[in-house]
């Protein structure tokens, strides 16, 4: 058992890719699997900042929303091809991350959470007010992806399974990138900052610049999740920018296990699956999610995956 | 005129930030459910007003109810998390806010309740430079009284002394034979009671719905950051400042009203990251 988990930990991107290849077949329907894929990526991007560097942002919906809106605006208003629209979304989110990060990293601890929450509200109001571009309260409609050809094969984006694998392609690239970052020297500096910021600074690392860099990377990954979501839903609801959406990333990370590679993904899967099940018999699923979340904060602060890892004593050498 | 509107709005912010500040200064806990307690206060206020038919009665009942809710929260949810770092109580209260929002939806429906202005406070009053809604004047006066009461309680009473001592050094207070856990319980309850009170006070000026606590939470965080964390003076001054900035912007640039206070925060962060009344180095 233990060696099996070690094997997964060593080849984490390959393992998750293989699993995600068969994932839509074990889910009740493909749309849920796609949702989990997108929010799993969102939570992973968030966790890069929170789990590995200890910065608790409550404004990450901003990046999900910027990614969604810019991709949507590109397609709807400027009839961009979807590939470049994704690129615009990701770059836009990264620039947003640079601006927000520049202000937010001037503060520490809970101030950081408060400032990111407040800055997230700015982004919300900006997109909300720019009604001619974003559709305001109604959201942006008509983000369509037409059929296209790859190597002579016509790809039908409206087929849910095809859509799943196209989105998976981007998610796997992002996962590989996250994995690379974490096992690079940058990843080590991030964890050093989380454990003791002053000591990391004394070791000669530029703490502020590392924080800003990771903030931007995290924003870009969340922006990618947003772009993919716009393509998936073919509309961009204004909810994407909402503070509760930021909270979802936080909840997913904690639920799955912050500071672990698979944790946020597992958290997203469990939460969205739970939502799917709970909404069939009550519309008050938020209360259920809230209670489950509180239960985990109180009794299992390491989350599902983190608890499994610590039970197996795998946690010391590599946080997989 | 617009200045008065701003002060009326600002007094709600000041009250909320004061409650946040009280809990943070003492327990080192950021109550992310503060907006939710505000929302619960507004619902209960309108509900009690409907049942008793007396605004003053509900003005007393509501903070008692949210205060008790706060006591339960501290005792059973927040207390187990002391010593686990600052993030956990924050996360827990965040989860609690979800539950409170849904609880109000279950009880009162998703539409919310119509807000009611008490009879004696309807209409306007000539304040010399023009007519001003009576209720807003009452709001300003009530806030002033509450802030004075809290100040008096902290500065001039025995309990206030214990609270201040506890915030400075909890071990010494323990050695002196004071049950610090009880003090924390009371402070958390008091903070939540103030949040509930600001909820009922604000209810006639805005729509009462389950989501009303969310924007106000973000705004009271802005107030806290502008004023400087843990500074009660900062909370009050920044609250009023934010209120005035908001209503001035909505007079001249209505579209930018919501944004203005966040811009204010960004400017303050650039110039004084620790907030107007915060001590340097207190940001950690």
Residue with tokens 């094997």: A7
State the pLDDT at residue B282: 44
What are the tens digits of pLDDT across the range B142-170?
A: 999 999 998 888 888 888 888 888 877 88
Q: Does A244 touch chain B (CB under 8 A)?
A: yes
- Does the distance separating the beta carbons of B102 and A284 come in below 8 Å? yes
Angstrom distance (rounded) from CA A290 to CA A295:
9
- Does the distance separating the beta carbons of B215 and A297 come in below 8 Å? no
Chain A residues whose beta carbon lies within 8 Å of the beta carbon of residue B229: 110-111
Is A76 a residue whose pLDDT tops 60? yes
Angstrom distance (rounded) from CA B231 to CA B224:
9
What are the tens digits of pLDDT across the range B1-35?
A: 778 888 888 999 999 999 988 888 888 888 899 99
Instruction: Tell me how close the Cα of B54 comes to any Cα of chain A, in angstroms.
Output: 32
- Cα distances from A318 to residues A59, A189, A252, A259, in angstroms, run 29, 15, 21, 11
Interface pTM, i.e. ipTM:
0.85
Residue of B24, B98, B259 with shortest CB distance to A125: B259
Instruction: Decide: B26 and B184 in contact? Cβ < 8 Å.
Output: yes
Q: Comparing C-alpha atoms, which of A47, A66, A55, A78 is closest to residue A267?
A: A47
B256: number of Cβ within 10 Å: 13
Residue with tokens 């071990």: B171
Instruction: Tell me how close the Cα of A239 comes to any Cα of chain B, in angstroms.
Output: 13
Closest chain B residue to A54, measured at CA:
B87
Q: How confident is the model at residue A71 (pLDDT cuts 50, 70, 90)?
A: very high
Q: How confident is the model at residue A150 (pLDDT cuts 50, 70, 90)?
A: low
What are the tens digits of pLDDT across the range B213-231?
A: 888 888 888 898 888 877 7
Angle of helix B87-108 relative to helix B34-52, nearest 10 degrees, comes to 30
DSSP state of B75: I
Chain B residues whose beta carbon lies within 8 Å of the beta carbon of residue A297: 81, 88, 91-92, 95
Q: How many helices (H) and strands (E) does chain A have?
A: 15, 4
Instruction: Tell me how close the Cα of A230 comes to any Cα of chain B, in angstroms.
Output: 25
- Cα distances from A69 to residues A11, A139, A223, in angstroms, run 34, 9, 10
Q: Comparing C-alpha atoms, which of A42, A20, A34 is closest to residue A240?
A: A42
State the pLDDT at residue B34: 93
Is B136 a residue whose pLDDT tops 90? no
Chain A residues whose beta carbon lies within 8 Å of the beta carbon of residue B269: 103, 106-107, 115
Angstrom distance (rounded) from CA B18 to CA A102:
28
State the pLDDT at residue B280: 54
A30: number of Cβ within 10 Å: 17
Q: Comparing C-alpha atoms, which of B141, B134, B142 is closest to residue B118?
A: B134
Is B92 a residue whose pLDDT tops 90? yes
Chain A residues whose beta carbon lies within 8 Å of the beta carbon of residue B88: 297, 301
* Two tokens, residue B220: 């009271």
Q: Does A199 touch chain B (CB under 8 A)?
A: no
Is A160 a residue whose pLDDT tops 60? yes
Q: Which residue has the higher pLDDT, A191 or A11?
A: A191
Instruction: Decide: A97 and A211 in contact? Cβ < 8 Å.
Output: no
Residue of B91, B97, B273 with shortest CB distance to A106: B273
- Does the distance separating the beta carbons of B95 and A291 come in below 8 Å? yes
What are the strands, taking DSSP E only, across A104-223? 140-141, 148-150, 153-155
Q: Which residue has the higher pLDDT, B266 or B131?
A: B266
First-residue to last-residue Cα distance in chain B: 40
% of chain A residues with pLDDT over 90: 48
In this structure, of A2-6, A22-26, A108-112, A178-182, the range with the lowest mean pLDDT score is: A2-6
Chain A residues whose beta carbon lies within 8 Å of the beta carbon of residue B30: 110, 113-114
Q: Region B72-87: what's the mean pLDDT?
A: 86
Helix or strand holding residue B113 (H, E): none
Q: Comparing C-alpha atoms, which of A97, A85, A61 is closest to residue A216?
A: A97
State the pLDDT at residue A211: 94
Q: Which residues, at least 6 apart from A246, have a Cβ–Cβ distance to it below 8 Å?
A: A57, A58, A59, A60, A61, A62, A116, A117, A120
Q: How confident is the model at residue A142 (pLDDT cuts 50, 70, 90)?
A: confident
What are the tens digits of pLDDT across the range B179-193?
A: 888 888 999 999 999
Instruction: Tell me how close the Cα of B127 comes to any Cα of chain A, in angstroms.
Output: 34
Closest chain B residue to A50, measured at CA:
B87
Q: Does A253 touch chain B (CB under 8 A)?
A: no
What is the rounded average pLDDT for all residues in chain A? 88
What is the rounded average pLDDT for all residues in chain B? 85
Phi-psi domain of B161 (left: phi exceeds 0; alpha: psi -120 through 50; beta: other): alpha
Q: Comparing C-alpha atoms, which of A49, A62, A42 is closest to residue A210?
A: A49
- Does the distance separating the beta carbons of B215 and A121 come in below 8 Å? yes
* Cα dihedral B179/B236/B145/B41 (nearest 10): -70
State the pLDDT at residue B117: 75
Angstrom distance (rounded) from CA B119 to CA B139:
15
Q: What is the DSSP string of B115-162?
A: ----GGG-SEEE-SSSEEEHHHHHHHHHHHHHHHHHHHHHHHSHHHHH
Angstrom distance (rounded) from CA B155 to CA B85:
29
Strand partners, A141: A235
State the pLDDT at residue B162: 86
Instruction: Decide: B196 and B44 in contact? Cβ < 8 Å.
Output: yes
* Two tokens, residue B170: 């909890």
Q: Region B240-266: what's the mean pLDDT?
A: 87
Phi, psi of A135 (to 5 degrees): 80, 5
Q: Region A36-48: what's the mean pLDDT?
A: 95
Q: Comparing C-alpha atoms, which of B154, B175, B127 is closest to residue B233?
A: B154
State the pLDDT at residue B251: 86
Q: Which residue has the higher pLDDT, A157 or B45?
A: B45
- Does the distance separating the beta carbons of A250 and B262 come in below 8 Å? no
- Does the distance separating the beta carbons of A243 and B214 come in below 8 Å? yes
Angstrom distance (rounded) from CA B229 to CA B44:
29
- Does the distance separating the beta carbons of B225 and A115 come in below 8 Å? yes
Interface with A, mutate which of B218, B231, B255 (most A CBs under 10 A): B218
Q: How confident is the model at residue A87 (pLDDT cuts 50, 70, 90)?
A: very high
Instruction: Decide: B41 and B197 in contact? Cβ < 8 Å.
Output: yes
State the pLDDT at residue A149: 64
- Predicted TM-score (pTM) of the model is 0.89
State the pLDDT at residue A152: 63
């Amino acid at each position: 058992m233990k060696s099996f988990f070690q094997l997964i930990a060593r080849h984490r991107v390959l393992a998750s890719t293989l699993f995600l290849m068969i994932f839509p077949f074990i889910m009740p329907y493909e749309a849920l699997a796609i949702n989990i894929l997108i929010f799993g990526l969102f939570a992973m991007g968030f966790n890069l900042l929170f789990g590995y560097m200890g910065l608790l942002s409550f404004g990450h919906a901003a990046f999900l929303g910027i990614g969604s809106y810019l991709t949507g605006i590109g397609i709807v208003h400027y009839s961009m091809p979807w590939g470049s629209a994704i690129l615009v979304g990701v770059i836009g989110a990264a620039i947003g991350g640079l601006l927000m990060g520049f202000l937010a990293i001037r503060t520490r601890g809970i101030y950081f959470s408060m400032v990111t929450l407040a800055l997230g509200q700015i982004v919300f109001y900006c997109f909300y007010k720019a009604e001619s571009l974003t559709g305001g309260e109604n959201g942006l409609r008509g983000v369509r992806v037409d059929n296209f050809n790859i190597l002579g094969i016509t790809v039908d984006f409206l087929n849910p399974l095809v859509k799943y694998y196209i989105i998976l392609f981007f998610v796997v690239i992002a996962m590989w990138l996250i994995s690379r970052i974490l096992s690079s020297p940058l990843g080590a500096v991030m964890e050093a900052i989380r454990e003791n910021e002053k000591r990391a600074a004394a070791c000669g690392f530029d703490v502020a610049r590392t924080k800003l860099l990771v903030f931007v990377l995290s924003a870009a990954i969340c922006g990618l999740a947003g772009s993919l979501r716009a393509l998936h839903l073919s509309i961009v609801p204004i909810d994407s920018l909402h503070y509760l959406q930021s909270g979802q990333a936080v909840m997913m990370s904690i639920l799955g296990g912050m500071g672990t590679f698979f944790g946020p993904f597992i958290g997203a899967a469990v939460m969205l699956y739970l939502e799917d099940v709970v909404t069939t018999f009550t519309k008050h699923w938020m209360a259920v999610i809230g209670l489950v979340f509180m239960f985990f904060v109180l009794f299992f602060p390491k989350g599902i995956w983190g608890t499994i890892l610590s039970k197996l004593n795998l946690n010391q050498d590599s946080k997989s | 005129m617009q200045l008065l509107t701003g002060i009326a709005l600002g007094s709600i912010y000041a009250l909320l930030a004061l409650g946040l500040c009280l809990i943070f200064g003492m327990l080192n806990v950021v109550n992310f459910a503060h907006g939710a307690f505000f929302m619960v206060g507004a619902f209960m206020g309108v509900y009690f007003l409907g049942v008793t038919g007396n605004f003053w009665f509900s003005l007393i009942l509501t903070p008692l109810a949210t205060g008790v809710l706060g006591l339960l929260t501290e005792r059973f949810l927040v207390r187990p998390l002391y010593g686990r770092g600052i993030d956990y109580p924050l996360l827990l209260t965040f989860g609690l806010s979800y539950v409170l929002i849904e609880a109000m939806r279950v009880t009162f429906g998703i539409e919310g309740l119509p807000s009611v202005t008490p009879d004696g406070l309807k209409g306007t009053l000539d304040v010399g430079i023009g007519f001003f809604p009576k209720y807003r004047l009452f709001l300003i006066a009530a806030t002033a009284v509450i802030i004075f009461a809290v100040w008096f309680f902290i500065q001039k009473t025995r309990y206030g002394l214990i609270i201040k001592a506890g915030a400075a050094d909890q071990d010494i207070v323990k050695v002196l034979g004071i049950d610090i856990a009880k003090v924390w319980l009371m402070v958390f309850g008091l903070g939540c009671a103030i949040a509930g009170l600001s909820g009922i006070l604000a209810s006639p000026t805005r729509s009462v719905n389950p989501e009303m606590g969310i924007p106000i939470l973000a705004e009271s965080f802005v107030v806290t950051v502008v004023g400087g964390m843990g500074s009660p003076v900062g909370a009050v001054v920044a609250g009023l400042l934010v209120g005035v900035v908001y209503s001035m912007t909505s007079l001249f640039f209505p579209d930018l009203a919501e944004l203005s206070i966040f811009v204010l925060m960004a400017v303050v962060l650039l110039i004084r990251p620790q907030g107007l009344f915060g001590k340097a180095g207190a940001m950690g």
